Amino acid sequence: MPEPSDDRRSEIREALEGGLTLMIYHPAPREFQGRLIDVSHRGFRAQHSYPLLEPGQNVHFRYSTLEGDARVIWNRILAGQVETGFLLL
C-alpha cells in the first residue's frame, strides 16, 4: 500500500538549478539574488535570503535569458534560508 503524501502539487515539477535575480518594488525597491530549485508550467520554487516576502506580493524575476513577473504563494524559512513558491503572472 502506498504511503500517504502531503505533497499537494497539482503539476509536475522539474528540477532546474541556477542563479536567479528577484526584484520587488513595494514597499521599497529592492533587488536580491536567489537560486532556482524547480519549475512547473505555472510557477517555480526558489531559495534566497530575503525573509520579508509575503504571500500575495508580486516580484519581477530574471533567470538566464528569461524574465517576467510572479506572485509569492508561500514562504518557508529553514536554517536562515528562505524557500518561496511563486505563481507566474
DSSP code per residue over 25-46: -SSS-EEEEEEEEEE-SSEEEE
Predicted confidence at residue 27, as pLDDT, reads 81
Query: Which amino acid type is present at position 23?
Result: M
Q: What is the per-residue pLDDT across 32-70, written as a single tens digit (0 to 9) for each?
A: 999 999 999 999 999 998 999 999 999 999 998 889 999
| pTM score, whole prediction | 0.82
CB 77 within 8 A of CB 49: no
Domain ranges of the chain: 14-88
Predicted confidence at residue 63, as pLDDT, reads 92
Instruction: Say which CATH architecture domain 14-88 belongs to.
Output: Beta Barrel (2.40)
Predicted confidence at residue 3, as pLDDT, reads 47
Mean pLDDT of the chain: 87
Quick check: 5 pLDDT over 50? no
CA distance 72 to 57: 5
Quick check: 12 pLDDT over 90? no
